[in-house]
Amino acid sequence: MATKKIRIEKDSLGEVKVPKGALWGAQTQRAVNNFPISGIKMDFPFTKSFVSTLGIIKDAAARANLRLKLLPAKKAKAISKAAKEVWQEKHHKEFPIDVFQTGSGTSSNMNANEVIANLASKYAKTPVSPNDDVNMSQSSNDVIPTAIKVSAHMDLTKKLYPALDKLINEIEKKAKSVEGLVKTGRTHLMDAMPIDLSDELRAWTSQLSASRNMLGVIEQRFLELPQGGTAVGSGINAHKQFAKYFAQEMTKLSGNKCKCVPSENFFHELSAQDCSVQLSGELKNLAVILMKISNDLRWMNSGPLAGFSEIELQALQPGSSIMPGKVNPVVPEAVTMASADVIGNDVTITVAAQAGNFQLNVMLPVIAYNLLKSINLLAGAMNVLSAKGVKTFKVNKKNIAESLSMNPILVTALNPIIGYEKAAEIAKKAYKEGRPIIDVAVEETDLSESRLKKLLDPSKLTKGGISK
């Protein structure tokens, strides 16, 4: 068997064997050897933005250090060039470390430092140090919290918001198309007063919009960057102006789309993950909303003969390996599973966030992974739900009308006129005999049929108020 080609790298602990063609160095390789836990790398699809953000951070740091005359121009420009290639995803295969690693994320920070240093050394044609040059004015303890904030902000704005806005717009389009279509409302899964189908759908958009607004409030805190706190929050080994210059360079690298500022309290930002907990909490809320919408769609689609059969979801695939002709609501089911995963992620983030012992949280990588996973799962789920769930479902108007006409709860509108007890008698009789409410009401009251039609008009009952 051929021996894999290797090279020897050194760090403070001694020599390490590294694959010959790898851009990473000794510390990265030690982490690869130490943490064969999950096989989930920091370059996992959900966390690509995290690796990219490490490149952006190193680019901004080199630019800030150049402005402060701490880093020679030749090295600074080479680091920026190499770092740009990382944040452009040209070297993501060079990030082989497991998500479950040292709690500070030092391994991932050094991975970025080593890859960028190797590339920069070639561009500068002079040795560039991973620690002294690429990591200048930084610590893993402020780099990783900064990377969590920036990558989360990136995925929120580029992935989640577009998907959420698309879903809201698609539901609103559907609501507008069914305005005036009255159906049986349900409470406790039991027949209740009639509602306009458009109102039922717009309840969903109201939920989604409220979550969108709250996400926007929380998101702003993710532009308050911990970078500059270095090891414990004191800013040791960093120039007093570094944090300000770094934030300015991050703003520039965003194309001035994001106004980054230094955090007001670095000690807070390094020791705690309050922002991540807050964001995860709202992502969990959004997941709960999507579960409610998806389950409503499943119930409305149920049947086609023994369920509600109010809508017909698009048939996307055969639903059973044994029952021919069966078609299942696969999209809402997939969305509920994604939502369940997000709810679980929130538990992980909550537990991880309490591990801020004294001056440093020591579960940062798993917070990053689960937070970004939640954002990406929700974005993907909403894209599918809007395109293959909401946009394409058809309304079974005939079934809705038949169900509504037999709804004994319509008698509620007569309460102010004939009283609760008499109305209850009519409802029970109508239900027992399987007859429309209006027919029984004609027999059991002295109200004229024309007045009863007016009082029991389902469309009128959707507007609220007291019947007269």
Catalytic residue numbers, as ranges: 188, 320
Chain CA centroid to CA 97, Å: 24
What is the Cα–Cα distance from 68 to 373, expressed in whole angstroms? Answer: 37
Question: Which tokens go with 128?
Answer: 């560039």
| DSSP bridge partners of 312 | 394
Signed CA dihedral, 132, 133, 137, 140: sign only: negative
Where in 2-66 does DSSP place strands (E)?
Answer: 6-11, 14-19
What is the Cα–Cα distance from 120 to 139, expressed in whole angstroms? Answer: 20
Contact 297, 313 (CB under 8 A): yes
Helical spans, DSSP H, in 133-196: 140-155, 161-177
Q: What helix, strand, coil percent values describe the chain, rounded to 5? A: 60, 10, 30
Question: Which tokens go with 206?
Answer: 């109201």
What is the Cα–Cα distance from 175 to 314, expressed in whole angstroms? Answer: 17
Signed CA dihedral, 172, 175, 176, 177: sign only: positive
**SS3 category, 376:** helix
Contact 169, 195 (CB under 8 A): no
Three-class SS of 360-407: EECCHHHHHHHHHHHHHHHHHHHHHHHHHHHCCCEECHHHHHHHHHCC
Question: Which tokens go with 124?
Answer: 């500068």
Question: Which tokens go with 138?
Answer: 């930084």
- CB count within 10 Å of CB 274 equals 13
Contact 196, 323 (CB under 8 A): no
Contact 51, 92 (CB under 8 A): yes
